Each structure stands twice: as structure tokens, then as C-alpha cells.
Chain A
Amino acid sequence: MGKVFAVIVVVIALASAVPIITHHWFGTAIELSPPPDISTHGHAIDEQLSETMVEAGLSFLAAQLVLAFFVWKFSNRAADAEIKTFPGGAKWLVIAALALVGTEMLALGVLGQRAWATVYFTPAKPDALQVQAQAGQFAFYFRYPGADGKFGDLHPDKIDEGNSNFFGLDPANDVESRDDIVSGELAVPANREIHLLMHAKDVGHSFYVRELRIQQDFVPGLDLSVHFTATKVGKYEIVCTQLCGLGHYNMKAYLNVLSQEDFDSWLKQKASEQ
């Protein structure tokens, strides 16, 4: 049965590799890979992902095939068969692990931090378009500062969702909030940096757009933000990835990347609807 085990391990290892290599579920059109990147920072992440896939894939295949081979060769041998020791014993395996894995990990870590740094260590450009996102059970709402370029203050006690006052603005007393534009979808102009200010209304949520290669938690009580530049016009889904209650599966909004022209008309239209 050792030989059966060996064969099955090989089959499993090779079968596991198929969807990775073909990017599709066996024989179907179902795509099982990240969607095309529409961001300016995403290519570094994608490169990192590919490199890691090669290293992980090779390690995976090597280990499974060696396991299979050794079990095939050394199982159910005669009771008096000679016991042999792997050449070099433990010493060379330890050295190999330290050297190969050590350098591999160091490389991934050191090189990988550049992709991380682009997203998180560089601040948003001063002329980035500021948009505020609020996550609350179970929808995202977005606020644009309007003609005065300023966001009105948030007053949680003034939140009145039935009258579409999702952010808790107080236009009666707070002049800056009167021209704020609130929207259920995040429309942005393409090729312009967006500085997304993130506010959590109730519990933890998260902002995830696969195509943008962006994910960031909304944390109640913390002023967090992300910045990104979208390069391709289209509609993309923003989904919540932090468990926030019963409607978590249904908490999403659309990122609508528009040409600058279309964005300007969209904003004008939205302003008239406020």
C-alpha cells in the first residue's frame, strides 16, 4: 500500500498544480486568478505574487514528489534490508534549509516591502481628490466635499438614514456641510490620485477592491485612509471583508471609474440631487 500512497500523492500534487498553471477550474471557463490590475501600484504586488507562486509551487512539488518517491522505494522492504542514512545526515539538510529558505525568505521580505511601501509609506499627493468613505452596517456611503472643497463635520447624533442623512451632517447649522455630496457609489476620475478618508460608523468593516489591489480595514475610532490611482474606466465591486454582522455578505458598493469629463458631469448631477 506504500506504493499506492506514493502514486496518490503524485496525482494530488500534479492535480493541485493544474488550476494554478491554467488559471481556470478544471476544464471550465471559471477564472481562478486575480483579475487584471487597474491600479498604478498593483504591478509590484502582482510580481511579488508570481515570484512567490513559483517558489511556493516548486517547494510544494519537490516535497510531495520526494515524499512519494521515498515512500515508494522504502516501504515494505524485507525485514533484513539494510538501513541507510541520507547522505550527509541532518547537517547538510539544516544548512540547505538555512541557506535556501533563508535567502528566499529574506529576498521575498526585502523585495516585497517595496510594494508595501508604495501603498502605505508614501502619503497621498497634496492635489489628490479627497473622498470620504463611511462604512456602516451594511452599506458604504461616499462623500465629496462640494464646491467649497471642505467636508462638513460629522455629528453621529444627527444620523437620519430614512432621510438619507447617512453621515450625520448638520446643514442647518454647519455651513460647510451644505454643499457636501453624498453618494452610494464611489465615482472617481481615471488617472487621478484618490485619497480615500475612511470612517467607521458602527463596527469594524473593510474596503476591498480586487482590481485595485487595495484592502484596508475601517476601524471605529481611528482616522484611516488609503490612496490609489485607477487607470481603467469601468465598474468594479467594493466588498466588505471584515465580519460586521448578518449583512456582511451583502455589503458592497460600486467603484465607478470614469473619464474626467464623465466624472465632472456625474458630480454635477449628484450635487443637484442633494
Chain B
Amino acid sequence: MSVASVQHVQHHAPPQGFIRKHIFSVDHKVIGKQYYALALVAVLIGMVLSWLMRIHLVWPNAPIPGLQLLSKSGAPGGIMTPEYYLSLLTMHGTLMVFFVLTNAPFAAFGNYFLPIQIGAEDMAFPRFNMMSFWTTFVAFCILIAAFFVPDGPPLAGWTSYAPLSAVGPDAGPGEGLGQTLWGLSIFVFCIGSLLGSLNFIATTLDLRTKGMTLARMPLCTWAWFITSCISLLAFAVLLPACLLLILDRVAGTSFFIPAGLVISDRLQPHSGGSPLLWQHLFWFFGHPEVYIAILPSMGIVSHILINSMRRPLLSYRVVIYCMMAIGFLSYMVWGHHMFVSGMNPFSSLMFSFPTLVITIPATILTLIWLGSLYGSRLRITTASLFALAFISMFVSGGVSGFFLAQPSIDIYLHATYFVVGHFHMVMGVASLFGVLAGTYFWYPKMTGHMMNESLGRIHFWFTFVGTYCIFMPFHYLGLAGNVRRYSAFVDDYLVPLIPVHRFITIAALVTGAAQLIFLYNLIHSRFRGPAAPPNPWECTSLEWTMPSPPPFDNFGGKHPVVYHDPYQYGVKSSTGDFLMQDSPEEARG
């Protein structure tokens, strides 16, 4: 199949002009960089929002200079109102989950490297690909617009539970136009994601070059492929859910709103809807979504670790089966977000079992990563440090899942900082470490320049220690019963916990400041970094066979031929201890 389809790929002529080259480009590499840039802007905004939140939590009555410029009603005199805190929280979560964690590891690196790693000239549908980015960009603009509407950004959380999110402005400040824009933004985002996922799947199945069997694809390509399969089904459910939410808000429907609600002294003109329906629809998407966030990073980290260790993982196939198992099981566990939601308690048990079972492939992966380190020739670079840190973070974030998977324990820990610590570590930090590892690893290929390794190390240490200082204490706070999504800690039992929050806030501000080192490195190296050789890490996959940066048509019109699996390391060859996938040479020893 692969050889015949490869001949049908759309050959496109080199792009002419600035707009075609850099803005409305059908080149998957440009699109990948655009997704990365969008994710970078989103993560910076999201990070600043988190600083504002953390500052307000420990100094709630202190004015934050300049905040009133962003919102006069949200922060009169710079003092954040409770509703504005929740709005910032909502935007933080929405930006981070959708525009950073779905975009960066998956859309950005996947777009850039999947076609190259399978030896293709571009994605199967380059124009759809361009549309998928610009659709995502429009979704981003709609979301940011919510900051500037009179009633303020939405405040129902990134999870947007109904009826708070569905009844409209009666529910209070933050539930006016901003919430409708949120629904619209995510609706549009789903479209962009669906287009992207279709492209990934079609490209992986149809456009592999000669010799590139599925069993010879690098692990990151496998991760992007599996992720795109999950993504297709997940976003296909969120899309209509958002539509229904918008209809409830503007068209008087009652999908999620029952009768008899009195809000703002007004009996709401709705009946027949179910708030639980929103939760089911949302989490049916929401749980696979968190695996969409982590799987690509697992693939990237595996790929980088193998290269750094100079030896393949203990079993390539087992890793792929584990990723597939995680993807499959991810569809069976969504109810673990709803143990105390009022759904049938028998269902809670039914969801608990697959949630516990998902620990098994996750453990196997961790054991394989650890076991592969044994006897390896591990090279330490900033990229490999972040890859190793990924393992540490994945373990930390993963074991807190043991607790939350059990409904009886979840009775106590649900909606506390324990949950917030869990998902930040396993999704926020671990996944982000995969992105950072990928950045330090692939930057030379993408830009033709090396990043500054010393600055990279400094960035690494601040980030690694800093994120532990921020998020490990969340678990302790959760065990003390510290409730989440509170804009201030006024309850009797919460006031004594504020010193712990102060520690976290300081850690967050310091770690955040350290990211400026990364930003500086990213930008400075692009212009002043030393020129990058084609294969600085002595890596085997196809992207390292081409110049840095690659030409617009990747392989210069020729189709590479692949002779080896992607992890020929620890062998003797003319290139050293590794063999490139397209090298006709045979491995010796």
C-alpha cells in the first residue's frame, strides 16, 4: 500500500512570497512551527494568569498594580474581585489544556516531524492542515476576546459545568457573553483538532515511504498516530456538547437545565434538562483529552531517551501495545471524574475498575524506561535531563492517581488540592517536560542553530526543582481537605494552611521567572546560536538525514528508502555506534 500511495502524494511547488512561505503555508513544517508559536503565546498567558491567581490567594486584599487596566470591574483599584479570580482560573485552565497541552506535544511537533519520520513529503492533505492551524488560531482569538467583553471572561472553570455555564447572565458576573465565547471558541477548536487528527491518521497509514513499515516507525510517530485516533473520537463528542451548551444559552433550549431553578430571584424559563448530561459528554471527551496530552510526550521522551542512552528500549512492541492500551482504556474511565456527582453509585464502581487497570500499562512503560537505563551509555544533555525528569514527574503524578481511582477515597479527596496536584504533575508538568525535551532536541533541526546548553541546564534545574516545590505541597493540602477553586481562604480550617500556600506562590513566581531564561535562549539562539550540524545528537530517525533546517519538500523530491528499525544503537557502523534508518549498511555487532 505504502509505495503506490506515496506516488499519489500532492507534489506542491515551492511557495512564493512571504505570505505563502510563512503565513498561509501548506508546508507541514511551517504549520508545526505555527502551532508551537501559538502554544508558546498561550503558555505565557496561562503562566501569567497563574501568577495572578497565586498572588491573590496569599495576599487577597493587596492591589496588583495595573490589573485594573485589564479589567476595571474585575479588579477595582487593582484589587481582584472573587469573580475575576475565577475568570482567570477558567482562562488559565482552558488555555493550558487546549491551546498548550493539545497543541504543543501533538500538533506542533507531530505536524513538523511525523511526515518526515515516515519519509513523506508532506501531510496527506496539506490544505486541510493549513486550515486546521488557522481554525485553531481563530478559536484562540475568540477565547482571548472573552477577556474584553463587559461582563468579563467566563468563570465556570475549564470544565464549564451546567447549569452555571448554561443559564446565562443570571448566574452572576462572568456568565454573560464571555461564557458564550468560551463555548464558541472550544467548538471551533474541536473543528481544528478533528481536521488535524484526520490528517495524521491518513498520513501515517498511507504515506509511509518504501521500507517504512509500521514496525519501523519511531515511537514518537506511533504516539502521534495513536493520539490522533483518540483525538478523533474525543473531539467529535465535545463539538456537539459545546453546540448544545451554546443553544441553551442563546436559543432557550434546555439540554442541561432542569425546571424550577431560581437564580437572581428569577425563576429560570427552562425545563427538562440534565446537568449530569453535560458532565458525561464533557468527561467522555475530557478523559481521553488528558491522554492526548500525555501520550505524545511519552513518545517524544522515549525517542530522546533511546538516543541519549545509545540503546533501544527493552521492548519496542510492548511500549506500543501499552500506548494503545492506554488509549483504549481512556474511553472507559470518564466517570471517575463523577464519583460523587450524583450519578448511580454502581456506575462509580464500574468506572473505578478500568481506572485502576490503566495503572498496569502505565507501570509497564515506567518499568521499561527504568529498565532500559540499566546498562546504557546515558548521555546527559538538557534534552535528556528533561526526558529523565519526565519519568520522575510521571511517577509522582501517577501514584496520586491510585488514591483518586478509588471512589471511597475520592469521597474525601474529590475537589481538593490533591486532585489539582495530581493533574498538574502528571499532565501539566510531565507533558510539558516532554515538550521541553523535544524543544531542546529538535531545535537544531528546526532552526539550523544550536541552543545554548548552559542556559538550558540552568533552565532545567530551576524548572525541575521549582515544579516539585510548587505541586508536591498541593497533595498535602488536599489531604488536609483544602478545597479547590476558592478565590480566598477564609474558612476556619483553611486559614492555618495559608503559610503553605505562600511557599507555593513564591516557588511559582521563581519558577515562572526562570522560564524567561528559556524564552531568551529560544529567541537568542535563533539568531546567534552556533550553526547546527545535520545530526548533532547522532540520532537514527529520518529527520536527521536532512539539512538543518530541512528544505520545503523535505527529501528534495526523492523518496527515501528505509532499511532498519528506528533504534539501531549500540551497534558498530561506519557512523559510530548507530545506524540511520535509511542507511543501506548492515549492523555489525
Contacts and interface: CB of A to CB of B under 8 A. Distances in A.
Most buried by A among B157, B175, B374, B461: B374
Given A67-B391, A71-B388, A249-B486, A45 B412 contact: yes
A34 B480 contact: yes
A74 to B, nearest CB: 5
Given A90-B315, A202-B262, A202-B263, A8 B464 contact: yes
Contact of B374 (A33, A57, A74, A220): A74
Interface stretch (B44-52, B166-174, B234-242): B166-174
Interface stretch (A143-151, A179-187, A204-212, A258-266): A204-212
Contacts of B500: 25, 30, 32
Interface string B459-483: 0010011001000110011011101
Contacts of B457: 1
A203 interface: yes
B310 to A, nearest CB: 7
B262 A248 contact: no
B429 to A, nearest CB: 13
Interface stretch (B132-140, B269-277, B287-295): B269-277
A209 B415 CA distance: 12
B160 to A, nearest CB: 10
Contact of B345 (A33, A82, A121): A121
A86 B348 CA distance: 39
Contacts of A219: 275-276, 341-342
A172 interface: no
B497 interface: yes
Interface residues of A, number: 106
Given A83-B375, A115-B408, A221-B273, A249 B487 contact: yes
A12 B468 contact: yes
A26 B415 CA distance: 24
Interface in B112-149: none
B583 to A, nearest CB: 20
Given A77-B378, A204-B275, A93 B367 contact: yes
Given A19-B476, A55-B402, A206-B415, A116 B348 contact: yes
Interface in A211-226: 213-222, 224
Nearest to B57: A249
B472 to A, nearest CB: 5
B360 A98 contact: yes
B5 to A, nearest CB: 33
Interface in A124-143: 136-137
B357 A71 contact: no
Interface in A52-100: 52-53, 55-57, 59-60, 63-64, 66-67, 70-71, 74-79, 81-86, 89-90, 93-94, 96-98
Contact of A116 (B82, B318, B349, B363): B349
Contacts of B259: 221
A44 interface: yes
Given A5-B388, A202-B171, A44 B408 contact: yes
Contacts of A250: 82, 488, 490
A239 interface: yes
B202 to A, nearest CB: 31
Interface string B147-177: 0000000011100011110010001111100
A79 B570 CA distance: 10
Nearest to A58: B399
Given A113-B408, A245-B172, A202 B261 contact: yes
A98 B244 CA distance: 42
A138 to B, nearest CB: 10
Interface in B232-264: 257-263
A98 B486 CA distance: 40
Contacts of A237: 491-493
A52 B409 contact: yes
Contacts of A55: 402
B560 interface: no
Most buried by B among A16, A159, A221: A221
A171 interface: no
Interface string A157-196: 1010100000010000000000000000000000000000
Contact of A8 (B156, B465, B480, B492): B465
Contacts of B164: 203-204, 243-245
Most buried by A among B167, B408, B483, B496: B408
Given A25-B476, A63-B366, A242-B161, A220 B485 contact: no
Given A75-B378, A86-B371, A159 B352 contact: no
B163 A220 contact: yes
Interface in A16-59: 16, 19-20, 25, 28, 30-35, 44-45, 48-49, 52-53, 55-57, 59
A64 B485 CA distance: 31
Contacts of A20: 476
A142 to B, nearest CB: 18
B376 interface: yes
Most buried by A among B172, B311, B353, B400: B172
B215 interface: no
Contacts of A97: 360, 363-364, 367
B385 interface: yes
Nearest to B166: A203
Nearest to A76: B380
Given A97-B360, A245-B164, A48 B406 contact: yes
Contacts of B359: 101, 105
A85 B399 contact: no
A250 B411 CA distance: 21
B377 interface: yes
22 contacts: A19-B473, A34-B479, A59-B395, A60-B396, A63-B366, A64-B392, A67-B370, A67-B392, A70-B373, A83-B311, A90-B315, A96-B367, A109-B406, A112-B407, A112-B409, A156-B262, A219-B276, A220-B163, A222-B258, A241-B415, A245-B83, A246-B487
Interface of B: 81-83, 86, 155-157, 161-164, 167, 171-175, 257-263, 265, 267, 273-276, 309-311, 313-315, 318, 340-342, 345-346, 348-349, 352-353, 356-357, 359-360, 363-364, 366-368, 370-380, 385, 388, 391-392, 395-396, 399-400, 402-403, 405-409, 411-412, 414-416, 457, 461, 464-465, 468, 472-473, 476-477, 479-481, 483-493, 496-497, 499-500, 570, 577
Given A109-B353, A202-B171, 13 more contacts: A19-B473, A34-B480, A57-B399, A64-B392, A74-B375, A75-B380, A83-B377, A93-B368, A97-B363, A105-B360, A210-B412, A241-B414, A243-B161
Across the A-B interface, give the 9 residue pairs with the lowest CB-CB distance, nearest first: A221-B258, A84-B375, A90-B315, A115-B408, A120-B345, A105-B356, A246-B83, A241-B415, A249-B486
Interface of A: 1-2, 5, 8-9, 12, 16, 19-20, 25, 28, 30-35, 44-45, 48-49, 52-53, 55-57, 59-60, 63-64, 66-67, 70-71, 74-79, 81-86, 89-90, 93-94, 96-98, 101-102, 105-106, 108-109, 112-116, 119-121, 136-137, 156-157, 159, 161, 168, 201-204, 206, 208, 210, 213-222, 224, 237, 239-250, 252
